[in-house]
Amino acid sequence: MNRFILLLFIGIIGCGNPQKSDEKENNSETETVKTEVKDSIIHADEKHFKSLRQLTFGGDNAEAYWSFDDNKLVFQVTNPSWELDCDQIFYFDWQNDDLKANKPMMVSTGEGRTTCSYFLPGDTTIVYASTHLADKACPPVPERREDGKYVWPIYQGFDIFVADLKGNIKKQLTNESGYDAEATVSPKGDKIVFTSMRTGDLELFTCDIDGGNVKQITNELGYDGGAFFSPDGTKLIFRSSRPKTEEEVKEYKDLLAVGLVKPTDMELYICNADGSDLRQLTDLGQANWCPFFHPSGEKVIFASNHSSKRGFPFNLYMINLDGTGLEKVTHDDTFDAFPVFSNNGKYLVFSSNRFNGGTRETNLFVAEWQD
């Protein structure tokens, strides 16, 4: 469901993309990668990017996650040229497939709205959330509110499914009433973490790979979501908007009662995989979200607009697990988000509006990472 935050901040706020596409292409190839190479799309001071390659070319592409062997990426996309009215799930071989020329394989049903796909151990099945059982049509996107608040829908029809690489649904992991989504898998291959409304609030839960042994991880009022395991599977990092004042609590409850949350004020929290030792990691203000552990397990990379005056741009940052050493990773004037390190630690995939010709297209990029 992270995808809606991108739509809210890019679509509703209408943050334009003043930079025009760079028409010059660098046709050189590195290693065996056959995707387009355009190192000119690295902005000044992006020192962690040894190289940067654009993987998608058109539409809204987001939340790309690696297979366990790092050979494939699964992601969600809305693309009019693919006749998609709302997000569906696709996967591809990022080193060999040309998404400018060919449409990748869709693994969702093509019905309802989908979100948050992730490879399961063995790389032959994928877990993702979908509303297709509740309604085959795309659910409505909230209209702009008269009070000017930016809101994000919590579709009650979301449930979590497992599908094979041909799109055949093999299992339904959740069947509780209300929202179940945002599932990600431990690098150890033994656990899934997801967000659920089954208690009446948006809390984190874990379960075994087969959906059994469900355990509640968080239990404080507020939206807890977008959780990821640390490389060793012992910790969880996630975003949260936890109301504190009486006014904030009322606003949160009132919005949630009509299936909405306000995603403009979020901080990062960290805890052990069983929910113990929970603590707030950031206190930056505005929206800090889509966190992911650095391969060392000692830092977290995330997207933030905390230094922005108009709600954008969003850039990527890193921070130590003790809250020190905040470092700006990308230096874009539009939108960079959804950073995910490959399992081998060599690459970072993320979504960006950079160099999209002044459109609102959001594409996937993969960076060759250097510390």
Round to whole Å and give the CA distance between 73 and 64.
6
Q: Which pairing describes strands 327-328 and 336-341: parallel, antiparallel, or unpaired?
A: unpaired
Domain borders along the chain are: 3-369
Q: Interior CA angle at 64 toward 149 and 61, to 5°?
A: 60
C-alpha 179, offset from chain centre? 17
Round to whole Å and give the CA distance between 288 and 306.
7
Confidence (pLDDT) at 7: 45
- Three-state SS at 126: strand
Residues 6+ apart with CB under 8 A from 151: 8, 142, 145, 255, 260, 261, 262, 263
Q: What's the CATH number for 3-369?
A: 2.120.10.30
The pLDDT profile of the chain, 371 residues, written as one tens digit per residue, is: 444 444 444 333 332 222 333 333 333 333 444 444 446 889 999 999 999 999 999 999 999 999 999 999 999 999 989 999 899 999 999 999 999 999 999 999 999 999 999 999 999 999 999 999 999 999 998 888 878 788 999 999 999 999 999 999 999 999 999 999 999 999 999 999 999 999 999 999 999 999 999 999 999 999 999 999 999 999 999 999 999 999 999 999 999 999 999 999 999 999 999 999 999 999 999 999 999 999 999 999 999 999 998 888 999 999 999 999 999 999 999 999 999 999 999 999 999 999 998 898 999 999 999 99
HSE-up of residue 34 (Cα within 13 Å, Cβ side): 11
pTM higher than the cut 0.95: no
Round to whole Å and give the CA distance between 30 and 37.
8
Dihedral sign computed on CA atoms, order 8, 148, 151, 300: positive
Quote the DSSP letter at residue 350: E
Q: Is there a contact between 353 and 334 (Cβ–Cβ < 8 Å)?
A: yes
What's phi and psi for 120, nearest 5 deg?
-95, 160
